[in-house]
Amino acid sequence: MRISIGTPSHNKRPWTELFMRYLFANTETEFDLVVSDDSTDGTYEWLQEEYGDSITIVRPKGEYSGASAARNAYIKAFKNDIAICIDNDCIVPKGWELPIVEAVRDNKTFSMALSASPDMYFFSQLAHLRDTCDRFKAAYKFKDIESSADLEKVLIETYPQSLNVFYGEHKMIVNGVPPWHFSNTWICYAVRTETMRKIGGYDERYTRAGWEDLDLARRFGLIGLTSMVIPMSYVHHFMGTTRQNEVGIKPHEVNNKEWYKSKYPLYASEGLDPCEGWLCDESK
């Protein structure tokens, strides 16, 4: 079996370097990687030089910008039946993808099978995840991150043991915990490519990032599909560390929230179709 994996990239090259290294080392399923990159800091050129034709690099297009446009650009390039959408400010342990790929493959009522991540504090047994993330953020704030080696050094200092050992402990804790429904995409999920194309991709009227993921999951729900968290899959997201220089709520986040709140009454009052056309209309 071969899957597609897509990730967005916008500057912050050290994050992308570390993400790529862990991805290629720890993914056990054969995959085709698509990177949607509009960087201006040399990340695009580094990707070309380092990986060449072994990956596909696409550039987001259209009048809109941000996470939605970047994700739609890589989704359009997917060639396999099952795909994983994952952000690049995270790292993955060995075999991270297997549970979510299996879940999507075996259950067609799932729109998305989500990996667990430190963002999710719903496991009372996993309270130490938050402590780990908080310690990472504290260490990160006091260091100048100029390379993936610098970033990994902070990671190693933060963890008392390797990520794979941490993942092993995680799997023991959640073994037997059933999937549960959650209306969001979080940091990583598997999806059938045909399902994503049916829903039409991310709404690009959400600028930069924020609320576009909730919008997508809710639209899937409107066509009768369920988003499920698969606790046996885990990816380590670096939480808000990629926003360390941005304090408070930004204007685009306020605007995105208002668009989300105004959009959803229209499904009932005006019969708005949740299957939008962001993946098929090249003018957008």
Per-residue pLDDT of the chain (284 residues; tens, 9 = 90+): 999 999 999 888 888 999 999 999 999 999 999 999 988 889 999 999 999 999 999 988 765 578 999 999 999 999 999 999 999 988 899 999 999 999 999 998 999 999 988 766 544 345 455 555 566 556 655 556 678 887 777 777 766 566 777 778 778 878 888 898 878 887 899 999 999 999 999 999 998 888 899 999 999 999 999 999 998 998 888 755 445 445 556 777 889 999 999 998 998 898 899 999 999 755 44
CA distance 158 to 154: 6
Contact call for residues 21 and 90 (beta carbons, < 8 A):
no
What pLDDT, on the 0 to 100 scale, is given for residue 138?
62
What pLDDT, on the 0 to 100 scale, is given for residue 125?
45
What pLDDT, on the 0 to 100 scale, is given for residue 284?
40
What pLDDT, on the 0 to 100 scale, is given for residue 237?
81
What pLDDT, on the 0 to 100 scale, is given for residue 253?
82
Token duo for residue 220? 């899937």
Q: Rounded to 5 degrees, what angle do the CA atoms 234, 96, 65 make?
A: 75
Q: Which residues contact 101 (CB under 8 A, 6 or more apart)?
A: 1, 3, 29, 82, 84, 113, 190
What pLDDT, on the 0 to 100 scale, is given for residue 124?
39
Q: Rounded to 5 degrees, what angle do the CA atoms 78, 34, 119 make?
A: 100
Q: What's the Rg (C-alpha) of the chain?
A: 18
Contact call for residues 113 and 83 (beta carbons, < 8 A):
no
What pLDDT, on the 0 to 100 scale, is given for residue 128?
52
